[in-house]
């Protein structure tokens, strides 16, 4: 009997384990908030909480896009460079007199194009995801520096720059952008057949192909989503800092990968969720925020992030061995 794509179902999730892991992440986040509230006097101030939500929001959106790629057993190292490049393109368009809505649309379409290029490199050219996205990372930084001549482009459009500083119902606008992205992402990944296809590709690409899934199309889709989310973050960052600078968001790709992994996404593919990377992003944002409040050397923040990745990937390997 021929199996149609609609019959493809990802490996049955261990719901009890997933729920327990999610609750553990939430508990860790609450513990960090309580601890920092005790050891610092300014953590719970409205200004600091707003800054925490704003910074965590951008990392969360990046991590969510990265998660789609990692579920397919891929990786996207270019998202930080896309953020900086998108900010440059947006600032350049605004400076040229292009309306804000058109500038944002063009910037997002460029993100779509970059993601499609990654898909083409992986599917048609046979390049490893690590190589094609690393090449894009380097190239986009260089192109952005050429456009700006190594400088920055100021954004003088006040309605646009005020958006990132504004609040709605007492919550920063940037945090609402997380919800705007997360809700359709949840529907896509967990409630649609396309989400099941992504998990199937990450679980066993050849089996998915033989079952009728358009594997190449799903790889294109995953990388397009990742790059588009990164371009969207570039728009938000440009609104927050009011400049276009190609060197902005340096290292954010590692923050995105770390947030996704901390949130339970397996670097080996086929395991991931929408809520996990979001919680992971705010755990990292809380650690960085707390380190700043405690005047801890910023280099320690990177060390802590690296150690978290090592520990979580190690336990992910143990979990995979036990399930085999």
What digits encode the pLDDT tens for the residues 296-316? 877 777 787 788 778 877 877
Q: Which of 36, 58, 86 is nearest to 289 (CA)?
A: 36
What would the pLDDT profile of 135-187 be if each residue is shown by its tens digit?
999 999 999 999 999 899 999 999 999 999 899 998 999 999 999 999 999 99
Tally of CB atoms within 10 A around 163: 17
Give me the pLDDT at residue 324, please: 59
Give me the pLDDT at residue 13, please: 46
- Spatial separation of the C-alpha atoms in residues 233 and 226, rounded to whole Å: 11
Alpha helix (H) residue ranges in the chain: 15-39, 46-71, 79-95, 100-123, 129-148, 158-163, 173-191, 193-203, 205-210, 215-241, 252-262, 275-293, 298-323
284 within some domain: yes
- Spatial separation of the C-alpha atoms in residues 83 and 239, rounded to whole Å: 12
43 within some domain: no
Alpha carbon 46 to its chain's center: 26
Give me the pLDDT at residue 102, please: 97
∠ at Cα 153 (151, 158), nearest 5°? 150
23 within some domain: no
1 within some domain: no
66 within some domain: yes
- Spatial separation of the C-alpha atoms in residues 284 and 305, rounded to whole Å: 7
* pTM (predicted TM-score): 0.91
| Max CA pair span of the chain | 66
Domain that holds residue 311: 50-322
Give me the pLDDT at residue 302, please: 77
**Side-chain-facing half-sphere of 159: CA atoms under 13 Å:** 4
Domain count of the fold of the chain: 1
Give me the pLDDT at residue 230, please: 98
163 within some domain: yes
Give me the pLDDT at residue 320, please: 65
11 within some domain: no
137 within some domain: yes
Question: What are the residue ranges in the chain where pLDDT is below 70?
Answer: 1-17, 319-320, 322-324
Provide the CATH number for the domain around residue 222.
Answer: 1.10.3470.10
């Amino acid at each position: 009997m021929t199996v149609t794509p609609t019959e493809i179902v990802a490996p049955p999730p261990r719901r009890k384990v997933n729920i327990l892991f999610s609750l553990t992440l939430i508990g860790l986040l609450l513990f960090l908030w309580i601890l920092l509230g005790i050891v610092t006097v300014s953590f719970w101030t409205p200004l600091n909480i707003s800054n925490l939500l704003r910074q965590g929001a951008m990392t969360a959106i990046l991590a969510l896009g990265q998660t789609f790629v990692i579920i397919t057993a891929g990786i996207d190292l270019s998202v930080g460079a896309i953020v900086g490049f998108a900010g440059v393109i947006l600032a350049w368009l605004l400076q040229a007199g292009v309306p804000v809505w058109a500038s944002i649309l063009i910037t997002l379409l460029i993100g779509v194009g970059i993601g499609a290029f990654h898909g083409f490199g992986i599917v048609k050219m046979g390049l490893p995801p690590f190589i094609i996205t690393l090449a894009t990372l380097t190239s986009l930084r260089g192109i952005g520096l050429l456009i700006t001549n190594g400088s920055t482009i100021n954004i003088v459009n006040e309605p646009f720059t005020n958006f990132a500083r504004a609040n709605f119902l007492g919550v920063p606008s940037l945090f609402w952008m997380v919800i705007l992205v997360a809700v359709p992402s949840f529907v896509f990944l967990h409630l649609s057949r396309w989400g099941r296809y992504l998990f199937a590709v990450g679980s066993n690409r050849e089996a998915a192909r033989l079952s009728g899934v358009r594997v190449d199309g799903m790889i294109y889709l995953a990388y397009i989503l990742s790059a588009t989310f990164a371009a969207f973050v570039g728009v938000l960052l440009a609104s927050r800092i009011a400049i276009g600078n190609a060197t902005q968001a340096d290292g954010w790709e590692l923050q995105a990968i770390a947030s996704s992994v901390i949130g339970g996404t397996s670097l080996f593919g086929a395991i991931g969720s929408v809520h996990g990377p979001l919680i992971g992003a705010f755990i990292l944002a809380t650690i960085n925020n707390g380190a700043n409040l405690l005047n801890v050397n910023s280099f320690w923040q990177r060390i802590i992030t690296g150690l978290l990745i090592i520990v979580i990937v190690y336990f992910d390997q143990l979990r995979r061995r036990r399930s085999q």
